[in-house]
């Protein structure tokens, strides 16, 4: 597994290098955006970790230049107060994000998800997906929680299905709305999504205030919790 680290902070880069090498991942490093673009396009990486705040060009610009040409997952690294940049990055084709400062465990968890969601593996059509005690069958259009059938509306079923298919990965409001209501979806659909999510949680979660399945990424979207 080969990972590209595009990060100008030398100490953070070395933290990631040591951690990833110890896990058996090979790492290549870029300390600025231009170097990152060149390396991204020169080698086949399994994951690219991209810092948004780079000294020469903005990480979002790096993303837009490399996304059309690289197949692998791109994980954004960004400061906590840059929520809008994260959303823009996710909607521009980044696969996930890490908020600085992050722990070794968080980084490794995101990598596992990123590696699983490589496009090659996405080809297989899943008709049934079970995570923990929640099972969705796309052919039968059914949802079971602990072997109990749960009745969902078509929209609730669709939202749950999308989140489960991308389990572990954050899905932005915009991305979800686009997949459910189509390209011409409106901002008002985001409000409908919130209502749908509240209803869905009431149906599948034992305690909707402490969700076991669907996590809210505040200001960004939702993530189906893996474990």
Residue 35 · residue 54 · CB < 8 Å: no
Beta bridge partners of 26: 2
Q: Considering the complex, what minimum distance in angstroms separates the CB of residue 8 from Ca ion?
A: 5
Which residue do the tokens 């909607």 mark? 91
Q: Whose Cβ is closer to Ca ion: residue 55's or residue 119's? A: 55
The residue number whose beta carbon is nearest to Ca ion equals 53
Q: Which residues bind Ca ion (CB under 5 A)?
A: 8, 51, 53
Residue 2 · residue 46 · CB < 8 Å: yes
Q: Considering the complex, what minimum distance in angstroms separates the CB of residue 153 from Ca ion?
A: 44
Q: Considering the complex, what minimum distance in angstroms separates the CB of residue 54 from Ca ion?
A: 6
Q: Whose Cβ is closer to Ca ion: residue 53's or residue 211's? A: 53
For 117, the token pair is: 């969601």
Q: Considering only CA atoms, give the Rg of the chain.
A: 18
For 188, the token pair is: 């008002």
Q: Considering the complex, what minimum distance in angstroms separates the CB of residue 55 from Ca ion?
A: 8
For 131, the token pair is: 């995570």
The answer to whether the peptide bond before residue 195 is cis (omega within 30 degrees of 0) is no
Q: Considering the complex, what minimum distance in angstroms separates the CB of residue 12 from Ca ion?
A: 8
Q: Whose Cβ is closer to Ca ion: residue 31's or residue 158's? A: 31
Q: What is the CB neighbour count within 10 angstroms for residue 214?
A: 21
Q: Whose Cβ is closer to Ca ion: residue 29's or residue 189's? A: 29
CA max distance for the chain: 55
Q: Considering the complex, what minimum distance in angstroms separates the CB of residue 53 from Ca ion?
A: 4
Q: Whose Cβ is closer to Ca ion: residue 8's or residue 95's? A: 8
Q: Whose Cβ is closer to Ca ion: residue 51's or residue 189's? A: 51
Task: State the Cα–Cα distance between residues 23 and 17, nearest whole angstrom.
Answer: 10
């Amino acid at each position: 597994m080969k990972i590209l680290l595009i990060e100008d902070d030398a100490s953070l880069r070395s933290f990631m290098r040591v951690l990833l090498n110890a896990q058996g991942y090979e790492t290549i490093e870029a300390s600025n955006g231009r170097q990152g673009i060149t390396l991204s396009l020169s080698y086949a990486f399994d994951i690219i970790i991209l810092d948004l705040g780079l000294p020469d060009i903005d990480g979002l610009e790096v993303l837009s230049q490399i996304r059309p040409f690289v197949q692998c997952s791109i994980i954004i690294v960004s400061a906590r107060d840059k929520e809008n940049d994260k959303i823009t990055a996710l909607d521009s084709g980044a696969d996930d994000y890490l908020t600085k400062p992050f722990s070794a465990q968080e980084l490794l968890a995101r990598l596992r998800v990123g590696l699983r969601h490589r496009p090659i593996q996405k080809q297989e059509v899943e008709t049934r997906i079970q995570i923990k005690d929640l099972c969705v069958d796309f052919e039968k259009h059914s949802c079971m929680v602990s072997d109990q059938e749960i009745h969902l509306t078509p929209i609730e079923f669709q939202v749950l299905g999308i989140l489960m298919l991308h389990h572990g990965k954050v899905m932005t409001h915009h991305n979800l709305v686009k997949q459910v209501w189509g390209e011409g979806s409106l901002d008002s659909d985001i409000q409908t999504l919130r209502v749908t999510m509240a209803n869905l949680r009431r149906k599948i979660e034992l305690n909707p205030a402490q969700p076991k399945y669907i996590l809210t990424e505040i200001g960004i979207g939702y993530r189906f919790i893996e474990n």
